[in-house]
């Protein structure tokens, strides 16, 4: 194995976040007796993405993201709501979403026999643990690092410092960050001096100041990078 410590992002790397998000939004709108149109969904996703981008850059707290997003969304629909309360409901539904992305569980099960696996995720701890557990992925990981618990988030250098300190005998040269986000996963790996794999199934454009060590279309393409092959028995 070319790398012995694999640091996996969770959303849109191992689990299908879009499916979980769509499910949660629909359920939330059902409880509000409001029709979720494609336009509203698009508005929400764009706004939510910008809020999380501000969080990644340390401009706002995670609490500000989760308290403001539904307040803003429903204000846009002419409704005054308790943003924090709606967010709790939303996260309850989001927690139910644990659809696997592609072959991720079989690949994780196999790689767990060959390397030490960890999860590195920005998000809410309770939500992420529950989804990992329901997706039957939890047993394959030696530890889970959720930004809510670490106090820092990807791409902050402090986030990966925290992770490195908590992994026994961590060797930076043998560690590989695997994720779909250039601005959090790959930028975070760059900031920490770690090699990285950009999972880019939709062939998105690279950003000028972010440098993934490798780029793949799916998780199967990790095998040549790791210098091993998929073992069917796992």
Annotated catalytic residues are: 9
We find the least distance from the C-beta atom of residue 131 to Mg ion, in angstroms, to be 13
What residues numbered 171-190 form the site for Mg ion, per CB under 5 A? 180-181
Q: How far apart are CA 5 and CA 81, in angstroms?
A: 44
Q: Residue 74 CB, nearest distance to Mg ion (Å)?
A: 26
CB of 160 to Mg ion, least distance (A): 15
Our finding on whether 21 is near Mg ion (CB under 5 A) is: no
Burial category of 234 from C-beta neighbours within 10 Å (exposed 0-12, middle 13-18, buried 19 and up): middle
75-83's contacts with Cβ under 8 Å and 24+ in sequence apart are: 76/43, 77/34, 77/40, 79/32, 79/34, 81/32
Our finding on whether 56 is near Mg ion (CB under 5 A) is no
CB of 16 to Mg ion, least distance (A): 11
Is 11 an interacting residue with respect to Mg ion (CB under 5 A)?
Answer: yes
> Between vectors from CA 175 to CA 180 and to CA 11, what angle results, nearest 5°?
25
Q: Draw the binding track, 84-123, toward Mg ion (x: CB under 5 A; -: no contact).
A: ----------------------------------------
Q: Which is nearer to Mg ion, 83 or 179 (CB)?
A: 179
Give whole-number Cα distances, 65 to 19, 20, 39, 88, 156, in Å.
Answer: 20, 18, 21, 12, 17
Residue 12 binds Mg ion, judged by CB under 5 A:
yes
- Kindly list the residues in this chain that would bind Mg ion in the complex (CB under 5 A): 9, 11-12, 180-181
């Amino acid at each position: 194995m070319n790398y012995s410590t694999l640091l996996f992002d969770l959303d849109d790397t191992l689990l299908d976040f879009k499916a979980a998000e769509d499910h949660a939004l629909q359920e939330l709108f059902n409880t509000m007796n409001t029709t979720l149109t494609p336009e509203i969904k698009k508005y929400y996703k764009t706004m939510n993405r910008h809020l999380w981008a501000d969080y990644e850059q340390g401009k706002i707290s995670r609490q500000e993201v989760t308290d403001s997003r539904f307040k803003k969304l429903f204000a846009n629909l002419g409704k005054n709501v308790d943003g924090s309360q709606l967010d709790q409901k939303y996260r309850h539904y989001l927690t139910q979403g644990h659809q696997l992305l592609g072959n991720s569980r079989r690949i994780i099960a196999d790689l767990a026999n060959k390397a030490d696996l960890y999860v590195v995720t920005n998000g809410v701890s309770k939500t992420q643990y529950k989804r990992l557990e329901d997706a039957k992925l939890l047993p394959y990981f030696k530890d889970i690092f959720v930004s809510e618990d670490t106090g820092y988030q990807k791409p902050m250098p402090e986030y990966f410092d925290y992770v490195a300190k908590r992994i026994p005998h961590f060797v930076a040269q043998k560690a590989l960050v695997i994720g779909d986000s250039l601005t959090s996963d790959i930028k975070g790996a760059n900031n920490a001096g770690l090699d990285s794999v950009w999972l880019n199934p939709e062939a998105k454009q690279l950003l000028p100041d972010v440098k993934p060590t490798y780029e793949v279309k799916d998780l199967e393409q990790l095998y040549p990078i790791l210098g091993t092959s998929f073992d069917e028995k796992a």
